[in-house]
A and B are shown apart, each in its own frame.
Chain A
Amino acid sequence: MALLSMKNINKSFFGKMANNQVCFDLEPGEIHALLGENGAGKTTLMNILYGIYARDSGDILWKGQAVSFASPRAAIACHIGMVHQHFMLVPTLTVSQNITLGLREKGYPFPDRKALNAAITDVSEKYGLQIDVGAYISTLSVGEQQRVEIIKLLYRDAELLILDEPTAMLTPQETEYFFAVLRKLRADGHSVIIITHRIPEVMSITDRVTVLRDGYNVVTVKTCDFTEQELSQYMIGRQLHSIQREPIVPDAGSEGLVLEDVSLKENGMERLTSLSLQIAPGEIVGVAGVDGNGQKELVEVILGIRKHSQGKIKLGGLDMSAMSVLEHKKLGIGYISDDRQQDGLVMDMNLTDNMLLKTHTDPRFIDHGLINARLVREDTQKAVEDYAIKTPGLNTPLRYLSGGNQQKLILAREMAGDPKAIVALQPTRGLDIGATEFVQQQLLQHRVKGCSILLISADLEEVLLLSDRIVVIYKGRFMGIFPNTKELSLSHIGLMMAGRTSEARKESL
């Protein structure tokens, strides 16, 4: 009998179906992957199970009993635990306090911390999850916080652990260590659901895999019966297309975007360490690396949002180190951020006002100190037409546009006036296939126009697809720069992303 079975689950947000008749089964003692692209509905499905969202319709059977959890508390009571992609830990509390949070232990509400700590240590040692129970969460690394989350579930006798993108922030070694823990858990009779879009991980750790696409479930199969290519077809629903790139014509007259020995120090921490790179006009340099290794810092330093502590950043031979963000943009840098809702747009403003984010000081739009509304509207209308932005009107707040159309507006704004350089951080994150291809095409078009493009993506495929050269970043350092050719060794890049330069070098010999 299945441990858990979810039948015909439906859930919509603002009229958009996030889960459409989704079914899911889990056997006791298996590691089961929930595989799908961003926005496929994996996390929504698990949040429904865990009592965070209420489903619109459908049934959930847990150990054969129909259940419907109104809150995580109810789910925990049935021994189901979930680790969210963004950790749910209170930074101002200790490890021990976080683990027992919400429980009614012996002596409640006067906890015997010593006894609790001993019990926690028992659990953590059993599965090799080392942790200092008295430390405050705010002092822990990402890997340690994940350990706390897992101990938290085990301490609550979770039989089923749901892990949302557990390896997103881990290095390959940490991932290996983490998988070892999962195998121990499985041997001990626990079941695990891993939400992921990384197929290699599915292959290496899971027993079965359920693939979701656009809110529908595609298939549930035994992992060992399928190859990576087959799974990726299920996940994406088509073959990956390859893009024909013309070789770049070096422009002797311009240096493009240049980083010379750039370092960033913040709060005593070295975030970026002496980065040097030159991106010629008409070149795309892709940055490969695991999330959180200095990618965001790198783009924000280039844009002047953060001030680098050492080195020079030049565009067309001009040193921009001392310039403000606005001056960077006026000089001709377009910026596509990974978090469009926070960094790129004002969600409660309409399309014209969002275009103004870049142009409100542009003399073209200003008459006698006042913004010329008519010109701005014309400019926005042109952007809507050129970039095929679907919107009810120019006065619609961005909040009501789809993610793809929001991103198109950012492209329209940042790519206006043929910038000399474009810095794109995860430009296709969370977009559907159509919007993703649109963004990629735009980047390639600007490459042809002679723009220096820095593309940063956690999606290695995207980097390989678009880049002329690839640089690997690890812990704020460039590990190596390679031309993107057919001979490029993927395992070589993978090792560098994990920070293992010596092994990578050995392999390349």
Chain B
Amino acid sequence: MKRFGKLLSFLGIAVLTLLITILLIRLVGSSVDQAFSSFLSGIFGSFYSVSEVMVKATPLILTGLGVAVGSRSGFINIGAEGQLYMGAIAVTCIAFWLNDLPAIVMIPLVILGGFVFGGVWSVIPGFLKARFGISEVITTLMFNYIAISIVGILVRTLLKDPSNSLPMSSFLPDSATLPVILSSTRLHAGFLVALISVVLVWLLVWKTPAGYEMRAVGLNPRACKCSGISVYKNIIRSSLISGGLAGIAGVCEVAGLHHKLLEGISPGYGYIAIIVALLGKNHPVGVVISALGIAALQVGSLGMQRAAGVPTSISSIIMGVVVLLILARKSIFRRLLTDE
């Protein structure tokens, strides 16, 4: 019965969200029918559109996975955005610096580099939290802005393509680009990297002693201390992995999609990642599902804009509303959840 009530409450959230969406579409003056059909055809209309969902989902899976790993040990990572940019810097620097390496060496190297750069960017706030108890929420947020500024500086100075007046780097050497895995789409090997990361993270967090420690530290640091599990070590470890995964997201975006470093490669993936992790309940599989869902929402709303004139910002409204409703779920549906 309780399970049923829980299910019903989530159904309620879905209905409420749908009603709000319809209201918004009506506000624009578009036909709801047309809007929804264009939304669906925007996602499932073609082979290409489905592949676009996966393209969008790639950075969301990786950053969402990162945020989830952090959350598991109590490290609230608001800094996936900055860590993603650090990963992007890493792949660009390594690719230009060691440009004569063959792809077979280069690709693993840039992924590792992205992991290290993103990881370091996250370990600093992790260290401040673990050692001095400084809240990571604000520090990771500040590190986002610093990372984005560093990218801005680099694409105007050291890494600038001299033949282009716009602030961006030259194209990466071919050896450092991730191949397209589905011809005539933009879907690149980064998606596979994301899926492999999901499996590895699942193994790490749920099957190894280290993962057990991270989860325990997130739930009760005091009991861990009394059992000889180092809280410090585990926060450092999980913040490193958390940022590292976001860094890999940056690598995939640059090496797989843009093939060069430029500003604005992430339209807030690092922030959406927090929603991805929340909706996915910080579980690797949940993260994949929610990342695909949010990517579909964004791709579909593009279709909705083209065909029905509904602004794409509706996707960010829906995301916000869903999260707010989930946060308020237990209060809104109290009757449903506590009855009997």
Nearest CB in chain B to that of A324: its residue: B228
A360 touches B223 (CB 8 A): no
Chain B residue contacts of A357, Cβ below 8 A: 216, 223-224, 227, 229
Could you list 7 A-B pairs, sorted by A, with CB under 8 Å?
A: A325-B227, A328-B228, A342-B220, A346-B216, A346-B223, A361-B209, A369-B208
Report A-chain residues with C-beta under 8 Å of the C-beta of B220: 342, 345-348
The 0/1 profile, CB within 8 Å of A marked 1, for residues 224-256 of chain B is 111111000000000000000000000000000
Q: If the complex has contacts A343-B222, A344-B223, are A371 and B228 also in contact, measured as CB distance less than 8 A?
A: no
CB distance from A393 to the nearest CB of B (A): 15
Q: Does A326 sit within 8 A of B, measured CB to CB?
A: yes
The answer to whether B137 has its CB under 8 Å from any CB of chain A is no
Decide if B47 is an interface residue (CB 8 Å cutoff).
no
CB < 8 Å: which of A325, A347, A360, A370 contacts B226? Answer: A325
A312, CB-defined interface residue at 8 Å: no
**Pairwise interchain contact B207-A325, C-beta atoms closer than 8 A:** no
A366–B219 Cα distance when bound, in Å, is 23
B153 to chain A, nearest CB (A): 42
Given A360-B209, A370-B208; A344-B226 close (CB under 8 Å)? yes
Question: Does B213 make an interface contact (CB < 8 A)?
Answer: yes
Chain A 322-343, CB within 8 Å of chain B: the 1/0 string? 0011111100000101000011
Q: Chain A residues near B227: list those with CB within 8 A.
A: 325-326, 329, 357-358
**A3 adjacent to chain B (CB < 8 Å):** no
Contact A370 B207 (CB under 8 A): yes
A349 at the interface (CB under 8 A from B): yes
Q: Which chain A residues in 80-98 approach chain B with CB under 8 Å?
A: none
Which of B203, B212, B219, B228 touches A356 (beta carbons < 8 Å)?
B212
- Partner-B contacts on A (CB < 8 A): 300, 303-305, 324-329, 335, 337, 342-349, 353, 356-358, 360-361, 366, 369-371, 373
| A340 to B, closest residue via Cβ | B223
CA distance A305 to B225 in the complex (A): 7
Binding site for A on B (CB under 8 A): 203, 207-209, 212-213, 215-216, 219-220, 222-229
Which of B216, B219, B225, B227 has the most CB atoms of chain A within a 10 A radius of its CB?
Answer: B227
A337–B226 touching, CB < 8 Å: yes
Complex CA gap A346/B73 in Å reads 13
Q: Is the pair B216, A349 in contact by a Cβ cutoff of 8 Å?
A: yes
Return chain B residues, CB-CB under 8 Å to A373.
207
Could you tell me the distance between the alpha carbons of A357 and B219 in the complex, rounded to whole angstroms? 12
Residue of chain B at shortest CB distance from A349: B219
B225 — which chain A residues lie within 8 A by C-beta? Answer: 305, 325
Provide the bound-state CA to CA distance between A360 and B208, in Å: 9
Given contacts A344-B223, A349-B219, contact A325 B213 (CB under 8 A): no
Q: Quote the shortest CB–CB distance from A34 to chain B (angstroms).
A: 31
The answer to whether A326 and B208 have CB atoms under 8 Å apart is no
Q: How far is the CB of A263 from chain B (nearest CB, A)?
A: 22
Determine the residue in chain B with the shortest Cβ distance to A328.
B228
The answer to whether A305 touches B226, judged by C-beta atoms less than 8 angstroms apart, is yes
Please indicate the chain A residues that have their CB under 8 angstroms from the CB of B222 in the complex: 342-343
Cβ contact of B213, chosen from A304, A335, A337, A360, cutoff 8 A: A360
What is the minimal beta-carbon distance from B329 to any residue of chain A, in angstroms? Answer: 19
CA distance A324 to B233 in the complex (A): 14
Chain A residue with Cβ nearest B206: A371
Measured CB to CB, the closest approach of chain B to A326, in angstroms, equals 3
Kindly list chain A residues whose C-beta atoms are within 8 Å of the C-beta of B229. 326, 357
Name the 3 nearest CB pairs between A and B, nearest first: A325-B228, A326-B228, A346-B220
Given A324-B228, A325-B226, A325-B227, check contact A360 B219 (CB 8 Å). Answer: no
Are the CB atoms of A353 and B216 closer together than 8 Å?
Answer: yes
Q: Which residue of B lies closest to A323 (CB)?
A: B228
Q: How far is the CB of A216 from chain B (nearest CB, A)?
A: 27
